[in-house]
Amino acid sequence: MIEELIRPEIRSFIPYNANQQPYRIKLDANESPFNLPAAARQKLAEYVLKDPKLNLYPDTDSVELRKALSEHWTVDYKNIIVGTGSDQLIQVIANVFVGPGDKVLYPAPSFGMYGDSCIIAGGTPVKYILEPGQRFEYCKETIFEAYDREKPKLVYICNPNNPTGNIMPAADVLQVVRYCKNAVVVVDEAYAEFCDTTVIPHTLEFENLIVLRTFSKAYGLAGIRCGYSIAGPALTAAVNLARAPYNISRLSQYTAQLVLEEKDEIRKNVQYLVDQRKRLSGELEQIRGIQVFQSHSNFILVKADRCKEVYKKLCEKGIFIRIFGASPLLENCLRISVGTEQQNTILLDELKSICYND
């Protein structure tokens, strides 16, 4: 009986299945290997011991955190919205703008939430294809054509793109924003710290531009579920219409503020991961049967002969990376998050032994 009550378009959904098995090295979710910096950890412990007020609802508007973010970006805090991860903001944006008959244009292969959030809101997802043969590069003209043809309400650009690692230059992103003037253009910059490409300074120039950021990747705070959007006043007010009250816990608001005070350490961690990405890419390229896509992020997409076997054998060794089941564009592809030097060395050694010895 329940089955028939579910909206038809949702019935075939498969709940998100993160691998929660015990592991030795976890390189499957683009998390940071760096935990909360020690100084921030100390302050968090003091906060909890003193009077964390966990019996009271948190600030529903996350004002202190938004003010800290506004200093970080030199934008008005009123133009920032904080979400329970940028995931939540993706869903909120769909809920505000998309209903039956409305289209959402987004890249493929890319992040699954763009299509899912559209379907959940009752809209029609439309993909624009990034060609594996063209190293998954974005093509402005492809987006323009799809925009003219489909007249979507939302257009997504994931920059750098997950899981392919490529970027669209900021000037091109802005051309898309200009061209798609009757749509909201959502630029998901979840990994932008790893490439220094951003369109945040342009959010006041274009009323249809919204940028998404997260604390889950470069800031190493996937565990607190905190992301945010930056956009002009009209778009920000619109997105706020469907945001859940009290959506960020006290502990998350406070922890995110603390990590913003640790700019030097975060910068150092990002540089470390960028250096390791270069090293890992270089060494992966040397392995027979592995093709490496250039990445501007904290993960690397590879195409591997005997992909499933490689994946399975790494799993057996307790090394988790990401495999892409259904997507034809990602046939034989694996995504490896960049870890610490030691983790990457172990991964490389195991990979070599799989690719050469058996």
Ligand X SMILES: *Cc1c(COP(=O)(O)O)cnc(C)c1O
Residue 200 region by backbone torsions, left for phi larger than 0, else alpha for psi between -120 and 50, else beta:
alpha
Query: By C-beta, is 39 or 244 nearer to ligand X?
Result: 244
Q: How many CB atoms lie within 10 A of CB 315?
A: 16
Name the residue with tokens 């009752």: 122
Q: Segment contacting ligand X (CB under 6 A): 63-71, 80-88, 238-246, 258-266?
A: 80-88
Q: Which is nearer to ligand X, 87 or 116 (CB)?
A: 87
Return d(Cα 175, Cα 172) in angstroms, integer.
5
In the bound complex, what is the minimum distance in angstroms from residue 304's beta carbon to ligand X?
Answer: 21
Q: Which residue in the set 33, 37, 58, 85 belongs to the binding site for ligand X (CB under 6 A)?
A: 85
Tokens 């202190």 -> residue:
64
Interface with ligand X by CB under 6 A: which range of 59-67, 81-89, 236-244, 313-321?
Answer: 81-89
In the complex, the smallest distance separating the C-beta of residue 236 from ligand X, rounded to whole angstroms, is 18
Alpha-carbon distance of 343 to 358, in angstroms, equals 22
Only one residue has tokens 């100084």, namely 39
Q: Which of 158, 310, 330, 355 binds ligand X (CB under 6 A)?
A: 158
Per CB under 6 A, contacts with ligand X among 303-342 are none
Do the Cβ atoms of 217 and 29 come closer than 8 Å?
Answer: no
Q: For ligand X, give the closer residue by CB, 218 or 355.
A: 218
Rounded distance between C-alpha atoms, residue 91 and residue 95, angstroms: 6
Q: What residues between 192 and 251 interact with ligand X by CB under 6 A?
A: 214, 216-217, 222, 227
Footprint on residues 89-128 left by ligand X (CB under 6 A): 111
102 Rama class: left (phi>0) / alpha (psi -120 to 50) / beta: beta
Chain residues 252-291 in contact with ligand X, contact rule CB under 6 A:
none
Binding of ligand X at residue 190 (CB under 6 A)? Answer: yes
Q: Is residue 188 at the binding interface for ligand X, with CB under 6 A as the rule?
A: yes
Q: Which of 338, 310, 292, 63 is nearest to 194 (CA)?
A: 338
SS3 340: coil
Alpha-carbon distance of 137 to 71, in angstroms, equals 33
CB-based contact 27:302 (threshold 8 Å): no
Q: Pick the closer one to ligand X by CB: 79 or 229.
A: 229
Do the Cβ atoms of 334 and 290 come closer than 8 Å? no
State which residue has the least CB distance to ligand X: 85
- The answer to whether residue 139 forms part of the interface with ligand X (CB under 6 A) is no
CB of 6 to ligand X, least distance (A): 24
Helices (H), 51-181: 63-73, 85-97, 113-120, 140-150, 170-179
Distance of CA 230 to the CA centre of its chain: 15
Which residue, 86 or 198, is less far from ligand X as judged by CB? 86
61 is an interface residue for ligand X by CB under 6 A: no
Binder to ligand X among 86, 229, 247, 255 (CB under 6 A)?
86
Would you say 168 or 351 has its CB closer to ligand X? 168
Task: Give 85 or 132: the residue with its C-beta nearer to ligand X.
Answer: 85
Tell which positions 6-45 bind ligand X, by CB under 6 A: 30
The residue ranges that bind ligand X (CB under 6 A) are 30, 85-87, 111, 158, 162, 188, 190, 214, 216-217, 222, 227
